[in-house]
Structure 1
Amino acid sequence: MSEQPDILVLDPTSADPDAEHQALRARGPAARVDILGVTAWSVSDPALLKKLLTDPDVSKDAKQHWPAFEEAVSTWPLALWVAVDSMFTAFGSEHRRLRRMVAPAFSARRVTALKETVERLVDELLDELASTPSGEPVDLRERFAYPLPIRVISHLLGLPKAQSEDFRALVDNLFATNLTTEEAAANTVRLYAVLEELIEARRVEPGDDMTSLLIAAEDEEGDSSTLTHTELRDTLLLMISAGYETTVNLLDQAIAALLSHPEQLAHVREGRASWDDVVEETLRHEPAVKHLPLRYAVRDIPLPDGQVIKKGEAILASYAAANRHPDWHGESADVFDLTRTAPGPEHLAFGYGVHFCLGAPLARLEATTALREFFARFPLAELATPVEELGLVPSLMSNGHRSLPVRLRPAPAN
């Protein structure tokens, strides 16, 4: 895992992600990068990335297909991302088995059934925001973007309120890429302890929630239709991390984009674009996850430019760089535009292929509901800090702002 001269070292604090993504694209469809000491192929060309994400010779199982796995587990701050036992890291038939068991929790029926819950939670948060003294800035990331997905995922998993707050800090650290190996390891220990508490609580008192459903499918013998305890625990970790941090960033980025581009907000208000358009263009322009570790070549994979990803080498899906690739979205790829014409706001923010995010419909439901109701309640809202001065979270993966200060200025009463 030593640095080599031709390798681009990715900034762990992601201080200037746009410049870094441009540098990646300038190096061709795939470029060798250093991600916190691990060498990988960053793929920023959307056509190549789609091909690799659907290639049966590209795996997510580090234990089987990454020779550097044992070293990474002991020295890499992002070890948990490659060491978990869930559908996130599964390959082939194992992935199909685990995904088949989790998929019912995100069925169209269950997501539709959550609509009233999401609307109620949004209304409660907006009522809380409405109590802010007139003209006083409020941090919408802290007061709106954070609590909504936490409350939704807590409802979905049967997570007690006290544990929700514990999970917030622990999941934030899971996405942070400025922690030491020791800090990341300590965070993992605490995270797993809280997960075990949740499992035990739901085992004693089961309910109509996803945790209880997964516990019912647990079997240490590892039958093909059941989960081992480790798979149960790591599947819950996946659901919490994927269902929380990403939606926080989606809401944060959408509100920041609309308030800094009033002409785009006007498109929605005047019927030229929908809230669905807002969500999809935000996902394209500022995806919630910039880079997602890792995949591995099961065999040598030739690239269009003559390079070869050799068997056992790691692959980094660089979604943010791919989403704004000029070969996909032309010269205006860097522009936030709700009226974007063909191919429209197509993106890879939820992944692609067999690992496409199961929670995408729920994230879209949360975001469209939250944005529609927020701008209806606070039509005169404005950023309290210029968008270019909003600090970014220090993470190669998580794509959001440290805070989102906004003056709400509710509409005057009729």
Structure 2
Amino acid sequence: MSQLPPYVLDPAGTDRHAEHRALRERGPATRVDVLGVEAWSVSDPLLLKQLLTSPDVSKDARAHWPGFAKAVDTWPLALWVAVESMFTAYGAQHRKLRRLVAPAFSSRRIAAMRPAVEAMVTGLLDHLAALPAHEPVDLRQELAYPLPIGVISHLMGVPDDQRNDFRELVDGVFDTTLTPEQAQDNTVALYALMDQLIATRRGAPGDDMTSLLIAARDDENDGAQLKPAELRDTLLLMISAGYETTVNVIDQAVVTLLTRPDQREMVRSGAVTWEDVVEETLRHEPAVKHLPLRYAVTDIPLPDGQTIARGEAILASYAAANRHPDWHGDADTFDAARTVKDHLAFGHGVHFCLGAPLARLEVALALRGLFDRFPDIHLAVPAGELRPTASLISNGHQRLPVYLRAR
């Protein structure tokens, strides 16, 4: 069968919903251009789930992607495929790294963090309440950003004087409008900051995940420590994944509730819970639109007769899959009372996000606190004037201006 030319993904993410519709219309999987790298975008949820759990699909670019060497030198998203952590690991190596990180996100540890998260939310809301009532507030800047940064810094032992630097550099990781040179400069600065964090915690270890990973031993490898690259990249994964994504979910949930008063009333009346709102936000506007990359270990036949050839790259298009009409018939409609709550916002299979329970907790507490404290909150600009983040990966807004009180 004849193939369509690759669909060029917009690096600035200008109209994500139109892009996702176009991908779905081209079939369960279609070739796309990701900043100059060709990949298969998979937007059909059943096919995507199948591939995400198949041993025939790898995240190890070094082992299974012939284009790796060229991409590392020229691709703006090189960091996404070059890191050495469980994010890019395959098989036994992935199981080893995940086992080391999993204790940080155990049910017991998340439950123990709840009072700290609640205190952070209260402190941020107190700050908002003290701002001039007649001036608009950028809620992304004043709530959506600082809460996840505070939580992940608490978990990872990031000193206060390093938090703003981490924020700026992690933003650069998700900015897909950077040139290869700018992306490389951002990566160099990010690793320098990571080394600074490791040195800080090595000199003054505490009850945080960075200190625990520094001291970690792999029982299946003669008790050897994590390799330096694995340590740095594991910390990078936990900090970036635990920060940027949660920012976007808070952002998108607030925008939805401020533009859908019927949904807000459902929460107020008790017809749905804040947890229901969080789950529907994750489905309706997931924090990550496309996640680079995976690779075919062998030829993979597709339902429509096409084949993903061995060594070809695969792009998990989570946002397009979440709104697939075959999965959720009225998928473009936000409905917190939806009974089928399945989605792929946290991935699927062995790479399912370990931090999902913590992210859900943060967003639910932030929304509950915000709307309880400021029941008259409303957008300071028309919803159509909100601009998306400049990214084909990250799904949020550049600014979220609101008035906290009725005029």
Q: What residue number does 2:175 align with?
A: 176
Q: How far did 1:389 drift? A: 1.3
Q: What residue number does 1:202 align with?
A: 201
Q: CA RMSD in A?
A: 1.4
Task: State how far apart, in whole Å, the 2-side matches of 1:325 and 1:226 are.
Answer: 44
Q: Secondary structure at the match of 1:328?
A: coil
- Which of 316, 337, 340 lines up with 1:339 in the alignment? 337
Task: State how far apart, in whole Å, the 2-side matches of 1:141 and 1:346 are.
Answer: 27
Task: State how far apart, in whole Å, the 2-side matches of 1:151 and 1:213 are.
Answer: 19
TM-score by length of 2: 0.97
Q: How far did 1:340 drift? A: 1.7
Closer, same or farther: CA 83–242 of 1 in aligned 2, 3 Å:
same
Q: What residue number does 2:290 align with?
A: 291
Task: State how far apart, in whole Å, the 1-side matches of 2:40 and 2:4 are.
Answer: 15
Q: Structure 2 regions of 5+ residues with no counterpart?
A: none
- Letter of the 2:153 counterpart: S
Question: 1:41 and 2:37 equivalent?
Answer: no
Runs of 4+ in 1 over 3 A off after TM superposition: 221-226
- Letter of the 1:197 counterpart: Q
Q: Structure 1 regions of 5+ residues with no counterpart?
A: none
Q: What residue number does 1:373 align with?
A: 369
- Which of 342, 353, 361 lines up with 1:357 in the alignment? 353
Q: What residue number does 1:399 align with?
A: 395
Q: What residue number does 2:94 align with?
A: 95
1:87-236 aligned within 5 A: 87-217=86-216, 223=222, 226-236=225-235
Question: 1:80 and 2:82 equivalent?
Answer: no
Q: What residue number does 1:51 align with?
A: 50
Task: State how far apart, in whole Å, the 2-side matches of 1:224 and 1:322 are.
Answer: 42
Q: How far did 1:345 drift? A: 2.5
- Letter of the 2:273 counterpart: S
Tell me the alpha carbon deviations over residues 341-379 of structure 1, each in whole angstroms, 9 at most, x when there is no partner.
Answer: 3xx231100000000000000000101111111111001
- Letter of the 1:346 counterpart: D
Q: What residue number does 1:382 align with?
A: 378
Task: State how far apart, in whole Å, the 2-side matches of 1:48 and 1:5 are.
Answer: 19
Aligned length: 404
Closer, same or farther: CA 223–310 of 1 in aligned 2, 3 Å:
farther
Conserved? CA contact 1:218–1:229, under 8 Å: no
Task: State how far apart, in whole Å, the 1-side matches of 2:217 and 2:161 are.
Answer: 25
Q: Secondary structure at the match of 2:326?
A: helix
Identity over aligned pairs, percent:
68
Conserved? CA contact 2:217–2:224, under 8 Å: no
Q: How far did 1:385 drift? A: 1.1
Q: How far did 1:132 drift? A: 1.5
Q: How far did 1:225 drift? A: 6.4
- Letter of the 2:175 counterpart: A
Q: How far did 1:135 drift? A: 2.6
Task: State how far apart, in whole Å, the 2-side matches of 1:59 and 1:225 are.
Answer: 25
Q: What residue number does 1:327 align with?
A: 326
Conserved? CA contact 1:195–1:237, under 8 Å: yes
Task: State how far apart, in whole Å, the 2-side matches of 1:88 and 1:317 are.
Answer: 13
Tell me the alpha carbon deviations over residues 293-331 of structure 1, each in whole angstroms, 9 at most, x when there is no partner.
Answer: 00000000000000000000000000000000000001x
Task: State how far apart, in whole Å, the 2-side matches of 1:322 and 1:256 are.
Answer: 21
Q: How far did 1:218 drift? A: 5.8
Q: Secondary structure at the match of 2:328?
A: helix
- Letter of the 1:237 counterpart: L
